[in-house]
Homo-oligomer: A and B are copies of this chain.
């Protein structure tokens, strides 16, 4: 593949060089920052011109950016995001669609579209994104790269635009597992790993997640699952979400979709409704479709959904003992074609994708998307997830698996 230029990628909203502030474990690496995350001296636009016009340039960087700079990495610029992170496609009405080099006629996925593209195009070593309902995992799957949504709450969100705080995570992309792990060493807390088994105790192949996926996605990932059995040899079994949550409703993916939509929609409105009413921003079709959907939510009934989420969070983490993993497709399908209008919230694409990504979201679980499948030449990711807090164990197992 000939080198792709910054211009060809369309991944960056702004290019600059911000040198490392100290030498450290990321010496020599370059990274890009989703334009939802503050970088001192730069104007965070959140993918929307009205946001840009109604907020001053940042004078302080987000914590996560400073951690990377202080670990030796150099920042190469800021990348396009879907407007206020409120889309899964990566088609920004105002700033364009970053290139998905692995499937150029398809979307990169969003909302961390430019960060995924910049990494996939080889323009930086790694990139920061955010993931509320799949915005790291889905573009990683679409673009054929590695992406980690860490345990909720472990990477500071100070200086990061919120979308839905109960679900928001800073995550990151890389082309190889070693780079992903180097970044994780800086951003994620160390674990007491002495008690961790060198191979997973149980890998639960999540039944409903695979049933939800396209048949050709299941087929494309079958080889990777066979390799999972061969590599670790242990207890690799198909498990229902009803068993993991000890609740029959969890076997219905519509339950997960509802949890995600109510949490994200109500929190998004509490975070940004005042700004939207005040600034009357121009939105492209993707966030507009989302806002239309959100307005229909009955906010007086949200407590029951919040409680159900916490119930499942507790049960999922209770079911995942030391060394246990979940395995699921990162997305139910390959990246949609460009201009497919799949942003409609009632679209089959949206509904299936969000219900899948909602599992780790509700559970506050770390989830890594591994670029292990192809359908008709386009990438599809296989995901592994673990109990909250087991991020580094997850990365360690992922490394053994992909090598």
Which residues of A come within 8 Å of B, CB atoms? 21-22, 38, 56-63, 66-67, 69-71, 152-154, 156-159, 162, 164-166, 186, 189-192, 266-271, 273-275, 277-278, 299-303, 306-307, 309-311, 313-315, 318, 364, 389
Contacts and interface: CB of A to CB of B under 8 A. Distances in A.
A306 B67 contact: yes
A321 to B, nearest CB: 14
A389 B22 contact: no
A259 to B, nearest CB: 12
B269 A314 contact: no
Contact of A166 (B158, B269, B277, B306): B158
A158 B189 contact: no
B314 A274 contact: no
A240 to B, nearest CB: 19
Contacts of A300: 21-22, 66, 69-70
Given A66-B300, A67-B306, A310-B190, A277 B152 contact: no
Given A57-B274, A62-B270, A156-B270, 13 more contacts: A22-B300, A38-B270, A63-B267, A70-B301, A153-B166, A156-B166, A156-B267, A157-B165, A158-B162, A158-B270, A159-B271, A190-B311, A314-B389
A22 B166 CA distance: 24
Contacts of A67: 302-303, 306
Nearest to A364: B153
Which A-B residue pairs are the 6 nearest by beta carbons?
A189-B310, A60-B273, A159-B270, A158-B267, A158-B270, A70-B300
A59 B66 CA distance: 34
A362 to B, nearest CB: 12
A149 to B, nearest CB: 16
A299 B189 contact: no
A273 B59 contact: yes
A190 B313 CA distance: 11
Nearest to A57: B274
A164 B156 CA distance: 9
Contacts of A62: 270
Nearest to A310: B189
Which of A38, A66, A158, A189 has the most B CB atoms < 10 Å from its CB? Answer: A158
A189 B54 CA distance: 37
A192 B271 CA distance: 31
A62 B229 CA distance: 47
Contact of A186 (B66, B164, B166, B303): B303
8 contacts: A21-B300, A59-B274, A60-B270, A61-B270, A153-B153, A158-B267, A158-B271, A190-B311
Contacts of A389: 314
A399 to B, nearest CB: 21
Nearest to A189: B310
A192 B267 contact: no
Contacts of A71: 303
A318 to B, nearest CB: 8
Contacts of A318: 192
A303 B70 contact: yes
B307 A189 contact: yes
A158 B154 contact: no
Contacts of A302: 63, 66-67, 70
B59 A277 contact: yes
Nearest to A186: B303
Nearest to A298: B70
A154 B152 CA distance: 12
Contacts of A309: 189
A306 B302 CA distance: 33
Contacts of A269: 60
